[in-house]
């Protein structure tokens, strides 16, 4: 069974930082591109960023560019999302996802999803 388990969400003040983690099991982590998506009620999951299987290539949504950074640790089978300069509009449930091979930005291209972790940005 493939499991993706996110953690690190919580309540943070505007301008603050959080680091989300996604621990993957049941798959060959190094063979999968990985991504982060967000979800708010009434909307489909929205692309945040993605990283290639090698970790050499990243892609980011425009609204997080310069603030969020994806990285991965193959030894720990863990994907990270470092979030700096958080804004209230970043409030959402953040989901980790695994793609079948190459880096992708479309939700339907990802095959496995975590349970999500809540990020709330508020004063």
Q: Which of 43-57, 66-80, 90-104 has the highest mean pLDDT?
A: 66-80
High-pLDDT (> 90) share of the chain, %: 91
CA dist 119 to 5, 8, 10, 12, 75, Å? 15, 8, 5, 8, 26
Residues 101-111 have pLDDT tens digits of 789 999 999 99
Distance set, CA 36 to CA 11, 14, 92, 102, 123 (Å): 19, 21, 12, 15, 25
């Amino acid at each position: 069974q493939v499991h993706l388990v996110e953690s690190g969400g919580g309540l943070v003040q505007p301008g603050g930082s959080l680091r989300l983690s996604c621990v993957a099991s049941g798959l060959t982590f190094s063979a999968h591109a990985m991504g982060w998506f967000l979800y708010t009620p009434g909307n489909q999951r929205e692309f945040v960023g993605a990283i290639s299987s090698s970790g050499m290539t990243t892609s980011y949504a425009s609204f997080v560019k310069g603030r969020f950074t994806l990285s991965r640790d193959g030894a720990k089978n863990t994907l990270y999302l470092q979030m700096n300069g958080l804004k209230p509009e970043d409030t959402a449930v953040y989901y980790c996802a695994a793609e079948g091979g190459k880096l992708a930005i479309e939700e339907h291209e990802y095959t496995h999803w975590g349970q999500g972790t809540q990020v709330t940005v508020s004063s």
